[in-house]
Amino acid sequence: MGPSVTGHEEPPICHSEEESYINKFTGIRAVSFDGDGTLWDFEKVMRHSLRQVLNELERINPRAASLLDIDKMIKVRERAAEELKGKTANLEEIRLQAFRETLKDIDKPNDILASHLNEVYLHHRFEDIELFEDVLPTLNALRSKYSLGLLSNGNSYPERCDLNGIFQFVVFSQNYGAAKPDSRLFEIALEKANCSKQELLHVGDSLENDVTGAINAGIRCVWLNRKQIKPNSGTMKEYVQDMNGYWETRFSKEGKIWGDSPSRTATYALGLFQEHGAKRILVPGVGYGRNAKPFSSAGFNVVGIEASETAFKLAKEYDPGSTFLHGSYLDIVPGNRPYDAVYCFNLLHLFRENERKLFIDKSWGELKKGGLIFFVVFSEKDPSFGKGREVEKNTFESKPGRPVHYFDKNDLQEHFQDFSIIENATMEDPENHGEEGAHSHVLRYIFARKNLNRI
């Protein structure tokens, strides 16, 4: 399979490569897979099946068939699903109703014909499914190590699509009156898999239904991005754009906001990276470069990524020894991969819970085996903790457009559960800027290694 998690590119994964990717998650006992779009091309088989329906209708009533096309039938199905919402979750009943309404729309109402067309559709919908070519090798490679399951909003039963005997548990939304991203579906999967949240990994193609659904349920996930969709789409896109707008405005007005002196954490991380032999450093959210320059000045090969255009231009002038890329960290694919270390200062806490986990997974993917991370965030001991509107647990918006999450030790450790943690502590960091003047923040940092037990 070819998953792209949090937007970083992975090579097409098939058989042993997929096994390797799954194995990067520690403590996993069961893996659940979405069906449509993940294991088979639903759009392809759905359109193929509707084509067979039109062929059958043309045989029976050419005039009626001439008034329809596949896109019209899809729109009627969407309308029927909306009308039946809350009344039935059975997809075969919804499809039957769609055929009834389709015939009514062309002034050819006929319930018997609608039932016949539904049977034709379902026959081809199930019998003509074509698995993506990497699916069977991947599942066969994984089944000896993990309990595998199907967790789907669809209705393609394994025995109908050459997957009989593969899955130890199957959960279909239509059988439970709830659909992904509803956490209840994931909780049912946990019960059927007989495992804890920490032991289940979900794989799916939908950012909303699979990724967001799993994360909200407290379950780790892999985004199988077959269509190479940008990761910051939908609600995430709006949030990231708002945050980027906030910082672009500040850098445009205030320039080098925090002056030229680097954070104490950068100086401390520099020593640790030197001690551990790191040479290639990635710095997401590099700003105007004040925390990248100590590394480049010490001879490190530094690549910094910055979303603000103003800060990006300032960084290139301020630190010519580093390489800077303009764009979102979740979108961009930097060169010199894999990296020896990632240094990230006061950026992770600006994201919401879902994006924080995606951000960390992105960083994991940029590191070489055994690579290092040094992340700095606001701690629960900072004087600003608790000020403003609480938008999520321990996340407060004290300044419009800039919510901040405050980490305690356990929270930060849980976020980096897939790393071997070396240090997790606090550090006071002085600043002198803006209306606040001279002040200090109580920051929390984590120094950790990419888990050596992973493949």
Mean pLDDT of 274-297: 97
Superfamily of domain 237-450: Vaccinia Virus protein VP39 (3.40.50.150)
> How far is it, in rounded angstroms, from Cα 99 to Cα 113?
9
Instruction: Judge whether residue 10 has pLDDT over 50.
Output: no
Give counts: helices (H), strands (E), the chain.
15, 15
Structure tokens at 429: 């960091």
Residues making up the chain, counted from first to last: 455
H helix intervals, 128-212: 135-142, 183-193
276 versus 358: the higher-pLDDT residue is 276
Partners of 367 in the beta sheet? 339
Return the percent helix, strand and coil in the chain, to nearest 5: 40, 25, 35
Q: Which helix (H) or strand (E) holds 445?
A: strand 437-450
Mean pLDDT of 13-37: 70
Residue with tokens 């039957």: 96
Of 246-255, 312-321, 363-372, which gets the smallest average pLDDT? 246-255
Domain residue ranges of the chain, discontinuous segments joined by + = 16-39+131-223, 42-127, 237-450
Q: What tens digit of pLDDT does each residue of 391-449 get? A: 788 998 877 667 899 999 999 999 998 899 999 999 999 988 766 678 899 999 999 99
CA distances from 136 to 18, 26, 40, 139 (A): 11, 23, 11, 5
Residue type, 193: A
| Residue 15 exposure: Cα atoms within 13 Å on the Cβ side | 2
> How far is it, in rounded angstroms, from Cα 320 to Cα 345?
20
How confident is residue 362, by pLDDT bands cut at 50, 70 and 90?
confident
- The pTM of this model reads 0.54
> How far is it, in rounded angstroms, from Cα 185 to Cα 190?
9
* Chain-centroid distance, C-alpha 20: 19
Sheet holding 200-204, edge to edge: 169-172, 147-152, 30-33, 200-204, 220-223
Instruction: List all residues 6 or more positions away from 87 whose beta carbon is below 8 Å from its beta carbon.
Output: none
Instruction: List all residues 6 or more positions away from 363 whose beta carbon is below 8 Å from its beta carbon.
Output: 282, 284, 342, 344, 373
> How far is it, in rounded angstroms, from Cα 95 to Cα 403?
44
Encode burial over 358-376: b for 16+ CB neighbours within 10 A, e otherwise. Answer: bbbbbbbbbbeeebbbbbb
Q: Answer yes or no: are the C-beta atoms of 345 and 378 closer than 8 Å.
A: no
Identify which of 34, 38, 132, 145 has the alpha carbon closest to the alpha carbon of residue 455.
Answer: 145
| Residue 332 exposure: Cα atoms within 13 Å on the Cβ side | 18
- 16-39+131-223 fold: Rossmann fold (3.40.50)
pLDDT value, residue 160: 82
> How far is it, in rounded angstroms, from Cα 349 to Cα 366?
20
Same fold, 16-39+131-223 and 237-450: yes
Helix (H, G, I), strand (E, B) or coil at 59: helix
Q: Answer yes or no: are the C-beta atoms of 366 and 338 closer than 8 Å.
A: yes
- 42-127 fold: Four Helix Bundle (Hemerythrin (Met), subunit A) (1.20.120)
Instruction: Judge whether residue 65 has pLDDT over 80.
Output: yes
pLDDT > 70: what percent of the chain?
89
CA angle centred on 222, ends 146 and 304, rounded to 5°: 135
Q: Which helix (H) or strand (E) holds 389?
A: strand 389-392
Q: What tens digit of pLDDT does each residue of 180-225 get? A: 888 889 999 999 999 998 899 999 998 878 887 887 777 888 888 8
Helix (H, G, I), strand (E, B) or coil at 181: coil
Identify which of 203, 206, 179 has the alpha carbon closest to the alpha carbon of residue 31.
Answer: 203
pLDDT value, residue 13: 32
Q: Is the peptide bond before 181 cis (omega within 30 degrees of 0)?
A: yes
Q: Answer yes or no: are the C-beta atoms of 438 and 430 closer than 8 Å.
A: yes
> How far is it, in rounded angstroms, from Cα 414 to Cα 412?
5
pLDDT > 90: what percent of the chain?
58
